Structure 1
Amino acid sequence: MAQAKPSSEGRPRGRPPVRSDDETKRIVIEAARHAFAVDGYAATSTEELARGAGISTKTLYRLFPGKAALFEAMCADRLDRLLSDVNFHSNNQADIETSLAAVLVACADLALDPEVVALQRMVLQQSATFPDLAANFYRDGIARTAAALAGWLRDQVKKKRIALDNVDEAAGMMIGMMVSAPQRAAMYASVTLPSRNEIERRAQTCAAILLDGCRARRHTGSL
């Protein structure tokens, strides 16, 4: 009896490897981040997102109950990356000014990211139609950024490297000082976002002002 010839491709027959849910979620979140920033929330359909990720709409809804849940997961995913950066810098042994500047850069990496700025512009434009959009963006973006910085500041207070009465309030002030002006300039005046070198210089200046102030010291001569 003649033996069956092996496949010319030399590959076993069967279905291709199944992609894990975690990997699929990551692909969908990346696609959603770009689509929301470029096309807006209302114009982005779940069908398009599913097609871009190579999955069915049914699978997308199994992973994310709806478009709002996907937007929330996207914001949370970006903040998780920031939190890992802040936790890393909180453990280093550099002087407090260098450490604070590094943490402010980590905050700016999120707030001044071009897609994040585009998303914030989109949220402002569509918040009246989709009020939950703004609430989710604030909770999973702005508020968590401030909370991450507040946690780092609280740790520095415990180590007696700085003295603050209200770390949560101080964190909000620091983030505003670091990112608000360039963020507003980009959103309302189409000014180019600062480069990495400009962000680092701004962080160093902010850290120096926050730690030492900028009031000119009076020189008292001897009588």
Structure 2
Amino acid sequence: MAKTKVKISERHSGSEAPRGRGRPQTRSDEETRAVILDAARHEFASAGYAATSIESVARSAGVSTKTLYRLIPNKAALFEATITDRLDRFVSQVRLRACDGDDIEGALREALIACGELILDEEVIALQRTILGESKTFPEMAQTFYQKAIRRTESTLANWLKTQADRGLIAVGEADLAAGMLLGMLAFQPQRAALFGRAAVPGRKELERRAGACAALFVKGCSVTI
């Protein structure tokens, strides 16, 4: 009997902790948070803000509610994090696509494609439907989306335009105004059609075509050479 106790004690006193009934943690907190945010984006877009719970997101992400609460304190913070995380990646992408030469039209086309991939994403549009339907009950959700998504997207493109103007590649008087006009020209029509269920979001080729047309129109204008 004593010998058996020694063996059990030795097995539990080593450098490795005993494995519990759940799966061992193999991801870092940063990786786990990314998985949670991806699951939350899908839950908010498909079920709506009111019907989405911390429990449903944790279940979808394959983590415990304890882990989720440790990384993100509540549902409002989770909703905001899904938006800011997506925007952080978008901002990094646009910065990497700054114009390195004199092909400002091509660089603008690439920047607009990056914007379009965010604005015309199916889950982002589904999220906007949710916000429109629940904004009276949860006004803070609409405010968060407006400030963290809409305004930040416009500001990111405006900063990009200003940078190119400072380098003497384009002449832009009001970068914020120009950015809003460009994004409206690029995305308003297909976004509205998708939002009201009249058409699917445009595919990559259509987005590239629209971005190219917008960039050419912005850089060259509509003047006719006689």
Structure-2 separation of matches of 1:208 and 1:91: 15
- The whole-number CA distance in structure 2 between the counterparts of 1:189 and 1:51 is 29
What are the equivalent positions in structure 2 for 1:158-169 lying under 5 Å apart? 158-169=166-177
The CA deviation at 1:169 is 1.3
**Whole-angstrom distance in 2 between the partners of 1:160 and 1:13:** 62
State whether residues 99 and 107 of structure 2, in contact with CA within 8 Å, keep that contact through their aligned partners in structure 1: no
The equivalent of 2:136 in structure 1 is 128
Question: Which digits, 9 at most, give the CA deviation of each residue in 1:123-152, with x for residues without a partner?
Answer: 111111100101111111111111111111
How far apart are 1:18 and its partner, in Å?
A: 5.1
- The TM-score normalised by the length of structure 1 is 0.88
Question: After the TM superposition, which of the residue ranges 64-73 and 17-26 deviates more from structure 2?
Answer: 17-26
Q: Which residue of 2 aligns with 1:102?
A: 110
Equivalence map 1:1-12=2 (5 Å): none
Q: Sequence identity of aligned pairs in percent? A: 50
Displacement, 1:91? 4.8
CA distance in 2 between counterparts of 1:60 and 1:17 reads 13
Contact 2:102 2:169 in 1 (8 A): no
Residue by residue over 1:45-69, the C-alpha shift from the partner in whole angstroms, topping out at 9 and shown as x without a partner, is: 1111122223332332222121111
Q: Summarize the alignment of residues 52-71 of structure 1 with structure 2, pairs less than 5 Å apart.
A: 52-71=60-79
Partner of 1:34: 42
Once residues 91 and 22 of structure 1 are traced to their aligned partners in structure 2, the CA distance between those partners, rounded to angstroms, is 31
Alpha-carbon separation, structure 1, partners of 2:131 and 2:162: 31
RMSD over aligned Cα atoms: 1.9
Q: 5+ residue gaps in structure 1? A: none
Q: What is the rounded CA distance, in whole Å, between the counterparts of 1:92 and 1:86 in structure 2?
A: 13
1:30-52 Cα distance to aligned partner (Å, 9 max, x none): 10011111111111111111222
From 199, 207, 214, the equivalent of 2:215 is: 207
Distance 1:204 1:53 in 2: 38
Equivalent AA in structure 2 for residue 43 of structure 1: A
How many Å separate the matches in 2 of 1:42 and 1:203?
36
